Structure 1
Amino acid sequence: MHIQDLRWFVVLAEAEHLTDAAAVLGTSQPTLSRALRRVEDAFGVRLFEREHRGLRLNPYGRIVLEAARAGTAAVDAASQRIGALVDPDSGTVRLAFLHSVATGVVPDLLKAFRSVAPSIRFALREEPSHLIVRDLESGEAELGITGPRPPRDIFGWHLLERQRLCLYVPAGHPLAGLERVSLAEAADEPFVALRPDFGFRRVTDELCQAAGFTPQVAFESTDLTTIDRLVGAGLGVAILPAGAVRNSDSGATPVPVQGIEARRDIGLTWRLRGELSPAAERFRSFVRELPA
């Protein structure tokens, strides 16, 4: 039994006449009869009572008719949803991105892309880097904006920006007036940081360890804006990408950190062994063609 058999069964049940239903469907009476036989064989019962003037659904047939209408409607709805997803002009891009780029890189890219493809929608996931990798591997996300770069043998990569890392300090702090700062100078300061399960937290911990100390964390957050405001309130210092928090009036002052390792690469990534939807491929191509 095929889905078309169920569609034809619905028409036959509504027409209650084999010849009339065949005419509506544009098929022959024998072909429609074979389709009905497949449906009845699948359920193991007769679905119609044959009468002199046509057909009449029996109790089994009424049950099947209800299910056939619901089933064909569900298949049609799924087909429409899939059609919308694979349409390069009005499909959906499943994009995962870091919390720390939610106020800068991501809105800038989406705004620029929507100016050329306004009908394409986005299913967005804001999460830590290890969950972005997991979702790309499972197919929950097609594209990710993350850093650092995931394994080269599994994921493609396009560099979006190289962010300078800064030590954010409260206004009036002794380090606030420096052009650059060595992290060792902040060894005795309380730190406000992201939670340990965030990839950027591992980056900052490694920078502190390279400077010879383990940071004394006074508070952990999942949000860069919260960290910026807590630093501005004098709770401690923090390592953040330059410009990560836009239009901030917290009073926190960024001071560039010395050393070539004091940076973070942010890029667009995707699974190499996977096929992107047309909408996602269009977005990836758009991003890769942007001027550096």
Structure 2
Amino acid sequence: MEWHHLEYFKLLAKLQNVSLSAKQLNVSQSALSRAIKHLEEEVGSPLFNRVGRSLKLNKHGKEFLVTVNTITQEMEMFKSKVTQSIDMLNGDITLGFLHSVGPTYLSDFLKTFNADYPNIRVKLLQDDAKGLISKLENGDIDIAITMVTPASKSVCFIPLLQEQLFITLNSNHNLAQAQSLNVADLVDERFILLKENFVLREQVDRIFSDHGINVEINFESDETLTIASFVSAGLGISILPKLKNIQLPNLTQIPINKYNAQRKIGLCYLTQTDLLPIVKVTKESLINYFNNYNEGEDYNNN
């Protein structure tokens, strides 16, 4: 069923004259007649009765007009909602982020962003790096803060910061006073790590592989905050990024000696969505926030 055929039907039902309707629609009378005939074939019944030179809706035509009016009204409401949602200063945007990014960075960003753009409603969705890219490509989120540099041509990746990874342990651990630690020093330790499907876990596994050691994994989690709380309780050690804004007692983070252990955090969005003002202003706000953050901290020396 063609959308413009519904508009033809509504006008013809109003004017009750093929010639006048065709002129107003800027189509030929034969084109209008074919459109109405096509509609009647799809509906399965004639919609008009000819009365002299006029066309009058029959019973089925009147019922169909009610349906068409409902459909077109719903469409207008939807179009209005879409228009509002892509307005730079008024609408919804869904921001996906890594588990480890939320408490560390986004809480501070959202305070400023909400003050600057009070009519933009930011919806949040948390997932692992691979899941975020999948949700971005499926349209479930508009922007992702992740550590994956996607290969897809439809996804743009803008690096935001480099985060150093630290050996994270309880402050009462016998290694907690060291200025730096070798990975070989950890061979007899019990580790608490992210699950294997996480990109950060893959990076930690590469650290162990590069040093040719196997470690004992005591527990695997979906959340860096859960890992940090278990380390705080003395249940094991981990390798994590800087735990900024995470207030847990008895946590010490120590650099890895003679090894460049870093992860790259970036902003991902679909190429075509950059034309939407609400995506553009959110993206630029995130970039500015992280640029200012980078100026205020030296990630390689924390």
Distance 1:213 1:245 in 2: 32
Counterpart of 1:131? 131
TM-score normalised by the chain length of structure 1: 0.81
Post-superposition, which runs of at least 4 consecutive aligned residues in structure 1 deviate over 6 A? none
Q: CA deviation at 1:93?
A: 2.8
Verify: 1:174 aligned to 2:174, yes or no. yes
Normalising by the residue count of structure 2, what TM-score does the alignment of the two structures yield?
Answer: 0.78
Paired AA for residue 191 in structure 1? F
Separation in 2, partners of 1:114, 1:12: 49
- Asked if 1:267 corresponds to 2:277, the answer is no
5+ residue gaps, structure 2, are 295-302
Identity %: 26
* Distance change (3 Å), C-alpha of 1:245 and 1:206: farther
Provide the rounded CA distance (Å) in 2 between the counterparts of 1:11 and 1:273. 36
What is the aligned partner in structure 1 of residue 197 from structure 2? Answer: 197
CA shift for structure 1 position 238: 0.9
The DSSP-based 3-state class of the residue aligned with 1:166 is strand
Residue equivalent to 1:86: 86
Query: In 1, Cα distance between the equivalents of 2:46 and 2:73?
Result: 23
Report deviation, 1:283: 1.6
Contact kept? 2:100, 2:225, Cα under 8 Å: no
Question: Which residue matches 1:284?
Answer: 283
Give 2:286's aligned amino acid. V
How far off its partner does 1:42 sit?
A: 1.3
In the alignment, what sits opposite 2:36? 39
Shift of 1:81: 2.7
Partner of 2:298: none
Unaligned runs of 5+ in 1: none
Distance 1:11 1:36, change over 3 A: same
Worse-superposed segment, 220-229 or 2-11: 2-11
Number of corresponding residues: 283
Provide the rounded CA distance (Å) in 2 between the counterparts of 1:242 and 1:11: 65
- Aligned-partner Cα distance in 2 for 1:191–1:276: 45
- C-alpha displacement of 1:221: 0.7
Provide the rounded CA distance (Å) in 1 between the counterparts of 2:128 and 2:22. 61
- Structure 2 SS opposite 1:99: coil
Check conservation: 2:22, 2:32, Cα contact below 8 A: no
Q: 2:146 aligns to what? A: 146
For residues 283 and 50 of structure 2, the distance between their equivalents in structure 1, rounded to whole angstroms, comes to 60
Look up the SS of the partner of 1:150 in the other structure: coil
Work out the CA distance in 1 between the residues paired with 2:152 and 2:175: 39
Contact 1:187 1:215 in 2 (8 A): yes
**Distance in 2 of aligned mates of 1:252 and 1:200:** 20
- RMSD over aligned CA atoms reads 3.3
User: In structure 1, what residue type is equivalent to 2:83?
Assistant: G
Deviates more, 1:188-197 or 1:228-237: 228-237
Distance 1:30 1:190 in 2: 80
Cα distance in 2 between the residues matched to 1:261 and 1:211: 13
- Cα distance in 1 between the residues matched to 2:273 and 2:83: 19
Which structure has more helix as a fraction of its residues? 2
